[in-house]
Structure 1
Amino acid sequence: MHFEHLVQINDPLNPLLTPLSAQQVWQALLWRAEKPQDFQDDVSEVKIHERGDDYMVRSFRLGNLHVRDNIEWDEGRTIHFHTQPNDEHYGGILTIAIETPDEAQLFVRFTYNTPLADTVAAGSDDASDAYFSSYVKSAYHEADIDTVRRIRELAAQGSLGH
């Protein structure tokens, strides 16, 4: 399954949105990688197994699910979460990219690639794969909106600098 969408951070036409800097968003994305429990309530037992200048390996529990990620980043631009498959799930890749089409606008692009089917298999009468794919895409979208909401909260608290 491939799923991609943009979330607008800064909109010069919306005075109700407090503008954030690309650096603030970047700091929050690294924070999310290191402390996922600060972005999602049901995350526990977070462990950083390995860390370098542009990568980390972490594991955590998401409810009853064990997750292990290899995370790599291009400083200030993109972060890639390579979730390793195991007996509990199929794994996949999430890429989060900061996009600045001009000085006034700021977006975050979320791109998911998983082994889940996007649509019903050819010749199949079973629509459950398509329904499940639609459900997962909706859940990803809501989680990403929550991530941006949490980034805004951290910025408002002064936790991300200026």
Structure 2
Amino acid sequence: MRFEHLVEVNDPDNPLAFTLEREHLWAGLMARVEDSVPFLPGMVECRILSREAGAVERLLVFGAAEVRDRASYVEAEWVCFETRRTAQHAGGSLTIRIEEPEAGRLFLRFTYETSFAEPGDDPEAVAYVDYIRAAYHAADLDTLAVIRELAMARSTH
């Protein structure tokens, strides 16, 4: 199943809020590649296993569960986190793209490819998928909040 949504980065109606630029977003996304712990509740360790141009292989530790993934990226454009299906993880991918449809108007597009089946007409399955979609959206808002905190901390130093 595929989930996709856009999150507007800056609120044009709140000029007092700290404004993120494309460079801030990219630095924040790369921070998530290098160490996802601040971005993912429950994660206790994120270890880089190998590195090549445009990608890293990582070990993610969530308590007793360990997951390997590959984070690939194109500078200042997108990052993609891909996890293979294992006994401990359902597998799937998350791609986060920086979009700027007009100058100064930034968005993050989050695209999830999951192993969840399409819910069809089953009301319980539809409710479950809606719950998953809402949880992903909340996590993506949290990602933007962490990126904003990192950018603000860097700007005060």
Superposed pair shares fold, TM > 0.5: yes
1:1-59 deviations in Å (ceiling 9; x for gaps): 11101111124343143211101101100101111112223111322111122000001
Q: How many residues align?
A: 157
| Structure 1: distance between partners of 2:42 and 2:48 | 18
Residue 155 of structure 1: aligned partner: 151
Please state how far the C-alpha of 1:109 moved relative to its aligned partner: 0.4
The correspondence of residues 7-156 of structure 1 with structure 2, limited to 5 A, is 7-120=7-120, 126-156=122-152
When residues 33 and 64 of structure 1 are mapped into structure 2, their CA distance, relative to the original with a 3 A threshold, is same
Instruction: Tell me, in whole angstroms, the C-alpha distance in 2 between the residues paired with 1:60 and 1:51.
Output: 15
* Aligned equivalents of 1:15, 1:141: Cα separation in 2: 24
Q: Which 4+ residue blocks in structure 1 deviate beyond 2 angstroms?
A: 10-14, 62-66, 126-132
What is the RMSD computed on CA atoms of the aligned residues?
A: 2.0
Alignment identity in percent? 39
* Structure 2 unaligned regions, length at least 5: none
Report the more deviating stretch, 65-74 or 137-146: 65-74
What is the letter of the counterpart of residue 98 of structure 2?
I
Q: Is the 8 A contact 2:35 2:47 kept in 1?
A: no
Q: Which amino acid aligns with 1:71?
A: A
TM-score, normalised by the number of residues in structure 1: 0.87
1:4 paired with 2:4, answer: yes
TM-score (normalised: structure 2): 0.90
Q: Distance in 1 between matches of 2:142 and 2:31?
A: 14
Change (3 A) 1:96 1:71: same
Equivalent position SS for 1:41: coil
Say if 1:23 and 1:76, in contact at 8 Å, map to a contact too.
yes
Quick check: 143-152 or 81-90, which moved more?
A: 81-90
Show structure 1 runs of 5+ residues with no match: none
